[in-house]
Amino acid sequence: MFILSCLYYSVKAFSSPDEIKLPQGFKIEEFATGLNSPRFMAYSPDGVLFATIIGDGKVVALLDKDNNGKADKTITFAKGLKKPHGIDFYMSYLYIGETNQIVRFKYNGFDSPLGKKEIIVPNLPTSGHFTRSVGFGPDGKMYVSIGSSCNVCVEKDERRAAILQFNPDGSGGKIFAKGLRNSVGITWHPETKEMWATDNGRDWLGNDLPPEEINIVKQGRNYGWPYCYGDGIPDPEYGKHDFCTETTPPTFKMQAHSAPLGLTFYTGKLFPKEYWGDIFVAFHGSWNRTEPTGYKVVRIKIKGGMPEEIEDFATGWLQGLRAWGRPVDVIVGPDGNLYVSDDRGGVVYRIRPKK
């Protein structure tokens, strides 16, 4: 049943932003189209939106020179990359997470070529969950998320199912936190400066287990995988009851198999005030479920610095059993609008309040 439903709703189809439903007062538009599987995004120091294009092995700049809400041109800045996914700018460098390494280039502005490619973290483990997220925290350290090699297993490489910490030049690498099966999205709370991350739970425990998670990730903590999930519940295959009582439970639990990827705090001022400080999360969508779920962007309301309630924000990429789009990343632009990448439709969307 799982396999049949997966084959059916994974068929690629095309539709339009008109089918995407938003809260009253919002509008969605295509910012850039014709991209071959855009993944994560970052704004350059000079205010240009960059995206990794995993299908083409490159990184592009989506230049909106006339500020009309639509990219005028797509400029290739780096190519020949191996499954590029994570991206960030720090101290005049562009950092990219390839599946097997972290690289950086000196960034000289969108109208100048990048500097020479530097491999700063080589020989990362590959296969399994192959995306490598990269981001810089308020402490000036570089963080790299590496997912598991399997659905559920005891890893031989301690770098897997973990978030690693490095100096900006790639030195000083160490395990920051572990027991995180696949924390694709990482961000930092704008006030507390704590790391928040999504985490994708294991498959084959049914339609509604285990829950997907958002974790406040702290140094030295273990978040349970593969021995337990959720609030310290022992895994049926690898469970260790005593160990699970010592692991850190999730900060917030979400619908199983939603595949949460990118997340961002809303730090702009353009949206209505009730959205300020809340989190937006991109749900890439299920495959291991009889009835598909996800394929949307959700809003998690924050109260007292903690997540309190989840609600749909942008839906419609899933039509019955067929998904024509799969949100990957969400980012707040300097203009206060929300940008969403869709690796199935090959689009970056802009969501803004109606004028």
DSSP letters spanning 60-110? EEEE-TT-SSS-SEEEEEE-S-SS--EEEEETTEEEEE-SS-EEEEE---T
The model's pLDDT over 173-204, given as tens digits with 9 standing for 90+, comes to 999 999 999 999 999 999 999 999 999 999 99
User: What pLDDT was estimated at residue 4?
Assistant: 36
User: What pLDDT was estimated at residue 3?
Assistant: 40
Task: Describe the strand order of the beta sheet including 132-136 as a list of residue ranges.
Answer: 132-136, 142-146, 162-166, 174-178
Cβ(252)–Cβ(222) below 8 Å: no
How far apart CA 49 and CA 235 sit, in angstroms, is: 41
Residue 246 Ramachandran class (φ > 0 left, ψ -120 to 50 alpha, else beta): alpha
The model's pLDDT over 277-287, given as tens digits with 9 standing for 90+, comes to 999 999 999 99
User: What pLDDT was estimated at residue 88?
Assistant: 98
User: What pLDDT was estimated at residue 355?
Assistant: 81
- Give the distance from CA 44 to its chain's centroid: 18
* 148's tokens: 């598991």
Residue 128 φ/ψ, nearest 5 degrees: 60, -135
What one-letter code names the amino acid at 312?
D
Cβ(50)–Cβ(65) below 8 Å: no
Q: Count Cβ atoms within 10 A of the Cβ of residue 112 and give its class: 0-12 exposed, 13-18 middle, 19 or more buried.
A: exposed
User: Which fold is adopted by the domain 2-353?
Assistant: Neuraminidase (2.120.10)
The model's pLDDT over 303-320, given as tens digits with 9 standing for 90+, comes to 999 999 999 999 999 999
Which among 268, 278, 343 has a CA at the least distance from the CA of 311? 278
| Whole-Å CA distances, 208 to 193, 205, 286, 297, 323 | 32, 8, 11, 19, 20
- What is the per-residue burial (b if ≥16 Cβ within 10 Å, else e) of 241-257? eebbeebbbbebbbbbb
* 83's tokens: 């499954």
| Whole-Å CA distances, 307 to 114, 159, 250, 327, 351 | 39, 29, 11, 21, 22
Residue identified by tokens 């530097």 is 118
Q: pLDDT tens digits, the chain, 355 residues: what are they? A: 334 344 334 444 457 899 999 999 999 999 999 999 999 999 999 999 999 999 999 999 999 999 999 999 999 999 999 999 999 999 999 999 999 999 999 999 999 999 999 999 999 999 999 999 999 999 999 999 999 999 999 999 999 999 999 999 999 999 999 999 999 999 999 999 999 999 999 999 999 999 999 999 999 999 999 999 999 999 999 999 999 999 999 999 999 999 999 999 999 999 999 999 999 999 999 999 999 999 999 999 999 999 999 999 999 999 999 999 999 999 999 999 999 999 999 999 999 999 8
User: What pLDDT was estimated at residue 181?
Assistant: 98
The model's pLDDT over 155-169, given as tens digits with 9 standing for 90+, comes to 999 999 999 999 999
How far apart CA 334 and CA 152 sit, in angstroms, is: 40
Question: What single-letter DSSP state applies at residue 222?
Answer: B
User: What pLDDT was estimated at residue 14?
Assistant: 59
How far apart CA 195 and CA 188 sit, in angstroms, is: 4
* 324's tokens: 């024509």
- Model confidence pTM above 0.85: yes
User: What pLDDT was estimated at residue 121?
Assistant: 98
